[in-house]
Structure formats: C-alpha cells, structure tokens
Amino acid sequence: MKLLVFLFLITLFISCTTSASTNKHPLDPLTPSEFKLVRTTVQKTYKASSPTLTFQYIGLDEPDKALVLSWESSKAKTKAAKVPPRRALVIARFKKQTLEISVDLSKGSIVSTKVYSGQGFPMITFDEQDAVVELPFKYKPFVESVQKRDLNISDVVCSTASVGWYGEIKSKRTLKLQCFYTKGSSNLFARPLEGITVVADLDERKIVEYFDNFNIPVPKAEDTEYVATKQKPPFGPTLMGAAFVQPNGPGFKIDGHSISWANWKFHVGYDVRAGPMISLASIYDLQQQRYRRVLYRGYISEFFVPYMDPTANWYFKTFLDSGEFGFGQSMVSLEPLADCPANAAFLDAYFAGEDGVPVKISNAICIFERYAGDIMWRHTESELHDEEIREVRLDASLVVRTVSTVGNYDYIIDWEFKPSGSIKMGVGLTGILGIKGTSYTHVDQIKENVFGTLLSDNTIGVHHDHYITYHLDLDIDGEANSFMKTNLETVTVRDESSRRKSYWSVVREIGKTEADGRIKVGLKASELAIVNPNKQTKAGNKIGYRLFPGTVAHPLLLSDDYPQIRGGFTNYNVFVTPYNKSEKWAGGLYADQSRGEDTLAVWSLRNRSIENKDIVLWHTVGIHHVPCQEDYPIMPTLSGGFEIRPTNFFERNPVLKAKTPKPMRFPKCNSQP
C-alpha cells in the first residue's frame, strides 16, 4: 500500500512540473544561454575577466510597461503576440569603477554604457565573499589571535558583514569579517570569536584593517547542535505524518513561468536581487466573464535589519539584505516533503556569478495547492420553521514559496492566492539569532546594558529589527488608480433621537499627492485601499483592493542616526508613489555603503500627484525582535505578513458558487487494540 501511495505521489509530481512554453513571456527571467551571451558580449568589449572585470548584477532590463500590457492584450486575442525586444541590465566592476551596461539580447551587442560616479556600491557577489573569508587564515595577526585563545585554527570559519555608512568619506569597497569556532557543533553562528574584527578590501582582495580588542570566552558547543543525525535522546515531540492525494490531479497548470489556477492567472519571475517576482496577476470575474488585472508587478524591494548593539565590534551591523547581499542570490534549493508538501511543483532559478557564468539553484521556487481545513464561508440557519440549513465551503489556496538564507537568518517567503480574490504575503523568520559572546553566565551578574538577552553561558542574543518592504504595482482593473483612506471617526449623539451617546462613521479621503500616501499604520483608525476612480459597481461604489496590515513596527532609532537615514523607507509603513520604472529598490540601486540619497523616502519628497494615476503601493512588514531562550539554538519559525483583499471589486461574493471537491472517505484508525 505504501508503495502505491509513493508511486501515485511521484506520478502527481511529474504531471504538474513545468511544461514547455509555446510563447516566451516578456517578463521571463534570463536563461542560462542569455547569461552566457551577456558574458561573451561584455568580455569581448572590455577584453578582461575576473577579477579585473566582475559582474555584480545581471538581470532582465524590463520592457516598458506599456509594451508588456500591449503584448498581453495581443496574446489574449491572437495567441501568437510578438514579444517585446529583450535586454539585460548589467552592473559590472571594471578597474575599480562601476559600470551600467545595457545589452541587446537579440543582437548580442552593447546598447549603452555609463560609468556610475555617485555614492554607494553594487550588490556583493558570493564569489568575492568566498574569496575574502579565506584571507584571515594567511594573516599572521589573526592566526596569533586564535592561538592566544587556545583554539585550533582548523576549526575556525569566517563570515562577512557589510560595513554601512556612519558619516565618513569612503572610496573603497570593504567588508568586515566575523569568525566563529565550529568544533563540537554545526551551529557556527552560536560560537563567535568575540573581539576580533577583520576589514577586507573587495577590489584588492586583501586585509586592510585588523582589530583584536578583547578576549571573551567562546560559548560552549553543548546544546547548540541542530542537525538531526547528531541529536541525542530523549527525543520529542513525535509528529504523525499525513498523506495528501488529489485523485483528479493538480488544479494548477504551469506554462513556462505562467501559472493558472482556479480563477487566477499570473507570472512567476526571478531576480538575483529581489528573489521571486509576481506579475500580471488577474482574477476571473464570473459575472463579467473576463479576467480583471489586480497586480502588475510585486516583489520584495528591500530588507532592513539593524542590530541594537552600538559597541565597536557590532555597531556596523545594520544590514540591507537585498541591496547588499542579494535576496535572490541567497535563495536555496527547497527540500521536497519538508520545505514544500508532496503536491508541490518546482521551478529552477539562474543567476550569474561574478565571472558571468550562470549558476543554477535547483528547486528554487515551489508551487502548491494548500488545503488546510480552512473554511471559505459558512452559515447555519436555524430560524426557519421547516428545516435547519447548514452551508459550508472548503477553502483552498495556491502558494508560491521560496526560502532565502542571508547569513544566519532563513526567510520563508509565501505568495498565497485565494479564490475569494485575496492575495496574502507571508514572511517566516527562522534560522540562527545574531549571537554575541559574553563573560556572563547568569542574568544576576549583569550590571550593564548588554544590548540583548542572555540565552546560555557566554551567549547573548542581540536585539534587532526586521523590516521587509514590498513593491506592489497594483493595477485595479486598469492602470489609472487612486489611494483612498477611509477614516473611522467617532460621532457624538447630541440630541434626544437615540438612547446612544456615540457611534463611529466613515470619512473618505482621496490622496492627492505623495504626502497623503505616507502612513504610519495603527496611529489612526482607518482603512487603506487602492481604488479605480473610473469604474464603479452597479451600486455606485468605487472598485478597489484594501490593504490589511499584519505585522507592523515603527522605527525606534533617531531619524538622523546613520542607519535610519539609509533605512528611511521604513519611516512609514505605507508609501504611495506614481509608477516610475527606475524606482524599483527602496534602499537605492547602490545600497552597499550608500548614504540614503536614493531611497523611497527621498523619492516621495517630490510630492508628485497620485490621484487617478498609475501608482505603486509600498508596504513594510516590521518586527522588533527581543530574543528569548526558545529562539536558541535555532529559532522556531516566527510568521508575519499582510493581505490585499477585494473591496467593492466584485458585485457580490465571488465564491458564492464555488464548487468544492467531494471529500474522500478513509477508514477510521483506532489506536486501541
């Protein structure tokens, strides 16, 4: 029986894997052959290779939005629409200068080249990080520091950290290295060599500064192991497995990178900086008998993770995970039946290494239907004289999932599509805390601010924040949209018409300029929505989609503190800006060592018109994280997110007539003999 179930699942998996696409999509990510073409084209012009010429970023240079929408419209009519010309955007380092190069992929030629002379540097590649983390082991002062601590250097591993900006004038690309002791545990981040700071020049590939300020005991390896095969009894809890079967096969189809499921269709792309990108998401309206677009383009624009330790060895740890380290570059291969359920299909992803050679991430994206026992809608009516009515509809959703491991943290990213028209964005935080070594073994010994929680002997989990900023180019049934605030205001009853003294009512405001689109969620009772002012329901309501914030946090750093200047895009939970193709990265195109001069917060100060325009909603999910002992030695997943939900978009409940599958009957298992 087990063999039959296994064979069925394998057949199911094969049946829903990616099919060959008959028409290439204009927003498809670059292919391995396109990466190779870019590499050949650029190297031919500059007659150099790594490390003289390095590729810091290669991605799709998106066609203009009008061209993509025209293609989509033509494809719906003819099925053979001509794809707009494809170009690649290349950000390269050549002789210590940053170049912006546009490559025509159809002709294999360079269209334009620009030398960037502003502040900040491009994304840091894995290859250059791998090169500099090996430098300390040939550096005599570092070797002596390890020996002074009575440690075996063969058990030491180093990792990278960006240096940020703190008011100084910088002209070199540098990283700081923090090193860890691995003897006795796979959990290297739990055993830092505190007090040692190594500064490496990325272009020169050499150590340029070194500090050994103090000697703190390395935390013990005991009880830090998380690898399953290295665990020792007692074990528990025991979780019982569950089988998932779909007798009629999967309910979704994949054509290249285009997905269709239930009443949804959309495109799943990939970028080495952003990770997954969702485009052209449209939902079928049963009454209007047509697909209606909701989201033109959505992705995570930036991650801001500032730690709250201002001391010499920690103050610089204020990371822009996307712009500095590449959230897409950091995506990992997903484990079937663990990261994703048995009914999942998988897509691979490709990015270019610093030498331009394509790198494959197998099983980078998984797509699956979720039947979690949730209720789509229900009602029990017992007031009728003749009968009791009980109507329930089983809910389901389609999930697009990726996981990115940026240093010590793992981020689980879900895009969940609901038949009701909602899209839920989920963020799961797991992995290893940012650990600081200490001499303390009990909280009673602590008489100073240690900037974190004592988790174990010699182990501090440092306070920090997570801010995840989403770029959502919502097109609610068309590009011309407006931002509407529905404020809930208390009204006092001042006459004798009611026994009540108060109630609340709504006052609606349409945002005129970007200043009206900057919102700190939670400070005022209000609903926030993107509406199409040019289209109404039969009842006269403007059609729209409402933002349902989930996990929000407001910055606690001073606004003139250097990390907060760079992370100014988190000053508000919501920004609304007019669509601008060049405004993609909330922390700026060149985030590494940036000065906050090219961020969402700065763009918004132009105070451009956002009424009845093609507009973009930016929303930041925020978490203040005070570590606790349950987060150690590895952190159970902490989940957050938000939802966008139709608001007067449909004439009535869009899943009123939804058909749910007939339940499969299984024999009951009796645990008693």
CATH number of the domain within which 285 lies: 2.70.98.20
On whether both 211 and 296 belong to a single domain, the answer is: no
CA 580, distance to chain mean position in Å, is 21
Q: If you search the block for the tokens 């992705």, which residue do you land on?
A: 299
Q: What average pLDDT does this structure show over 612-634?
A: 98
Contact status, residue 312 vs residue 112, Cβ threshold 8 Å: no
**pLDDT, position 76:** 75
| Paired strand residues for 167 | none
Handedness of CA 357, 363, 366, 368 (dihedral sign): positive
In a domain, 671, yes or no: no
Question: Residue 322 CB: number of other CB atoms within 10 A?
Answer: 30
Contact status, residue 397 vs residue 341, Cβ threshold 8 Å: no
| pLDDT band with cut points at 50, 70 and 90 for residue 297 | very high
On whether both 83 and 103 belong to a single domain, the answer is: yes
**pLDDT, position 662:** 66
In a domain, 446, yes or no: yes
**pLDDT, position 47:** 94
Q: Which pLDDT tens digit goes with each residue over 485-516? A: 999 999 999 998 899 999 999 999 999 999 99
- Sheet containing strand 97-104, strands side by side: 53-61, 87-94, 97-104, 109-116
**pLDDT, position 664:** 55
| Residue 138: partners with Cβ closer than 8 Å, 6 or more residues away | none
Q: Which pLDDT tens digit goes with each residue over 321-353? A: 999 999 999 999 999 999 999 999 999 999 999
pTM of structure:
0.94
Listed in order, strand segments (DSSP E) in 19-79 are: 53-61
Contact status, residue 443 vs residue 429, Cβ threshold 8 Å: no
Contact status, residue 123 vs residue 63, Cβ threshold 8 Å: no
Q: What average pLDDT does this structure show over 434-446?
A: 97
| pLDDT band with cut points at 50, 70 and 90 for residue 244 | confident
- CATH code: domain of residue 54: 3.10.450.40
**pLDDT, position 242:** 77
- CA distances, 389 to each of 79, 267, 660 (Å): 46, 40, 18
Q: What average pLDDT does this structure show over 134-140?
A: 97
In a domain, 384, yes or no: yes
Q: What's the first-to-final CA gap in the chain, in angstroms?
A: 21
DSSP state, 550? -
On whether both 410 and 537 belong to a single domain, the answer is: yes
**pLDDT, position 672:** 43
Contact status, residue 421 vs residue 646, Cβ threshold 8 Å: yes
- CA distances, 278 to each of 352, 417, 583, 608 (Å): 21, 11, 17, 26
Percent of the chain with pLDDT over 70: 95
**pLDDT, position 668:** 54
- Four-CA torsion 330, 334, 340, 346, nearest 10 degrees: 100
Which of 116, 137, 166 finishes a domain? Answer: 116
**pLDDT, position 385:** 76
The DSSP string of 580-637 is: -TT---TT-SS-BT--SSSSHHHHHTT--B-TTEEEEEEEEEEEEE---GGGSSSEEE
In a domain, 598, yes or no: yes
In a domain, 12, yes or no: no
On whether both 575 and 626 belong to a single domain, the answer is: yes
Pair of tokens at residue 152: 């075996």
Distance in angstroms (rounded) separating the CA atoms of residues 626 and 49: 46
Distance in angstroms (rounded) separating the CA atoms of residues 457 and 224: 11
In a domain, 87, yes or no: yes
Question: Residue 516 CB: number of other CB atoms within 10 A?
Answer: 16
CA 668, distance to chain mean position in Å, is 41
In a domain, 7, yes or no: no
In a domain, 9, yes or no: no
On whether both 275 and 214 belong to a single domain, the answer is: no
Closest CA to 270 of 331, 317, 212, 316: 331
**pLDDT, position 443:** 97
Percent of the chain with pLDDT over 90: 87
**Residue 322 φ then ψ, to 5°:** -80, -50
On whether both 497 and 377 belong to a single domain, the answer is: yes
Lowest-pLDDT range of 122-136, 191-205, 278-292, 658-672: 658-672
**Residue 567 φ then ψ, to 5°:** -100, 30
On whether both 160 and 66 belong to a single domain, the answer is: no
On whether both 220 and 80 belong to a single domain, the answer is: no
**pLDDT, position 665:** 55
* 9: pLDDT strictly greater than 70: no
Closest CA to 409 of 453, 344, 451, 465: 465
Question: Residue 507 CB: number of other CB atoms within 10 A?
Answer: 10
Q: How high does pLDDT run on average in the chain?
A: 93
Contact status, residue 88 vs residue 78, Cβ threshold 8 Å: no
On whether both 221 and 170 belong to a single domain, the answer is: yes
* 1: pLDDT strictly greater than 90: no
Contact status, residue 461 vs residue 632, Cβ threshold 8 Å: yes
DSSP state, 520? -
On whether both 130 and 112 belong to a single domain, the answer is: no
On whether both 303 and 427 belong to a single domain, the answer is: yes
Contact status, residue 618 vs residue 586, Cβ threshold 8 Å: yes
Lowest-pLDDT range of 18-22, 191-195, 303-307: 18-22
Structural domain that includes position 96: 32-116
Q: Which amino acid is at 140?
A: K
Using a 10 angstrom Cβ sphere, with 0-12 exposed, 13-18 middle and 19 or more buried, the burial of residue 268 is buried
- CA distances, 106 to each of 23, 46, 520, 532, 654 (Å): 16, 20, 46, 37, 43
Contact status, residue 35 vs residue 42, Cβ threshold 8 Å: no
Q: What average pLDDT does this structure show over 623-627?
A: 98
* 20: pLDDT strictly greater than 50: no
Contact status, residue 631 vs residue 433, Cβ threshold 8 Å: yes
CA-based max dimension of the chain: 90
Contact status, residue 544 vs residue 488, Cβ threshold 8 Å: no
Distance in angstroms (rounded) separating the CA atoms of residues 548 and 456: 38
- CA distances, 335 to each of 332, 341, 426 (Å): 9, 9, 19
**pLDDT, position 349:** 98
Using a 10 angstrom Cβ sphere, with 0-12 exposed, 13-18 middle and 19 or more buried, the burial of residue 94 is middle
| pLDDT band with cut points at 50, 70 and 90 for residue 7 | very low
- Four-CA torsion 624, 629, 631, 633, nearest 10 degrees: 140
Q: If you search the block for the tokens 């545990």, which residue do you land on?
A: 185
Q: What average pLDDT does this structure show over 448-473?
A: 98
List active site positions: 321, 409
| Residue 375: partners with Cβ closer than 8 Å, 6 or more residues away | 392, 393, 394, 395
**pLDDT, position 663:** 59
Q: Which amino acid is at 537?
A: T
**pLDDT, position 18:** 44
> What is the C-alpha radius of gyration for the chain, rounded to an integer number of angstroms?
27
Q: Which pLDDT tens digit goes with each residue over 72-84? A: 998 877 767 788 9
Please give the tally of structural domains in the chain.
3
Distance in angstroms (rounded) separating the CA atoms of residues 26 and 258: 11
Task: Specify the pairing of strand 97-104 against strand 87-94.
Answer: antiparallel
Contact status, residue 552 vs residue 573, Cβ threshold 8 Å: yes
Task: Specify the pairing of strand 542-548 against strand 264-271.
Answer: unpaired
On whether both 200 and 339 belong to a single domain, the answer is: no
Distance in angstroms (rounded) separating the CA atoms of residues 672 and 17: 41
Q: Which pLDDT tens digit goes with each residue over 84-115? A: 999 999 999 999 999 999 999 999 999 999 99
